Every structure is written in C-alpha cells, then in structure tokens.
Amino acid sequence: MTRGPIYVPPIDPRSVPAPSKEIYARMGEANIFAMLADFYGELEQSSIRGMFPPDMKRASEKSAAFFVGLLGGPPLYHERYGNPAMRARHMPFAIDPAGRDVWVACFERTLARAVDAYAFPPEHLDGFLAFLRGFSMWMVNSAPPQGK
C-alpha cells in the first residue's frame, strides 16, 4: 500500500495530562490485563482489526504491559520490550482520524464497564479518557481527507 507524506498532527503529546498513578494501586496488574484483553476483544470486532497482528491475545498483553507502567505500576513494557516510542511503533500503519476515532470508541465501550469489571477508580475515569482522547491524536499519521 502506498501512502502519502507522513502527517504530523497539530498536538504536542507532552501537553496531554498523564492519567493518575493512583489507578494502578486501586486496580492492580491483573485487572489492567483483563481490561486490555476486553479492549482488544472490542478491537477484534472493529473496522480497524486489520491494523493488529493475528495474535490479539499477545497484542493485548503487550499493550497491558504499557498501561501498567503508565497507570503507576512497574515498568513492564520497558523491561520486556524496551522504549515504547509510541509514534514510531505505530508508523507502519496508516492511522487517520477516523481510525483513531474507532480505537477511542472501542476503549470507551470497555471503560463503560470498568468500575465494576476491573475495579477502575471512578474518580479517575474522566482523566483517563481525556488522556486517551488527547494522546491518541499523536498516533494519527495520515492526513484527514481534504475539506474535513
């Protein structure tokens, strides 16, 4: 697949407030891994499924390792896979705003049951969603269609 020039979104990812580090203390590693497994189940049924590897279980575990560290736990991703370099790792995939919106919607569906299903602290849901919505804009690397 041929793609046009790499699009750089008008966002500074450092301007997006990180989620609370208290989340890990309340959820624990097992709940974060369960939440990401369910999120990847949502992705598996989505229109962006083709951007993910065949082994969605392994992909969810890799992503969960990142989220454990992000949410205040040990740096599992760094220990297992090295520097996340998120934008670089996503560069092989043409991610446009519509694809990013699908990804966010899958996470929102997962988080709709997060308080009961994974012991997600309700007072941190809005901040975590704001982080996901903001930071995921930095993963967009394909220009939106002209006129939109």
Rg over alpha carbons for the chain, rounded to the nearest Å, is 15
Task: Give CA–CA dist 95/66, Å, rounded.
Answer: 20
How many angstroms separate the Cα of 43 from the Cα of each of 13, 52, 68, 71?
23, 9, 19, 21
Q: Per residue in 39-67, pLDDT tens?
A: 999 999 999 999 999 999 999 999 999 99
Q: What's the pLDDT at 77? A: 95
Say if CB 146 and CB 17 are below 8 A apart.
no
Task: Give CA–CA dist 95/142, Å, rounded.
Answer: 6
Closest CA to 129 of 39, 34, 50, 49: 39
Give the fold, CATH level 3, of 21-139.
Globin-like (1.10.490)
Confidence of residue 71 (pLDDT cuts 50, 70, 90): very high
Task: Give CA–CA dist 106/123, Å, rounded.
Answer: 21
14/27: higher pLDDT: 27
136/8: higher pLDDT: 136
Global pTM value? 0.91
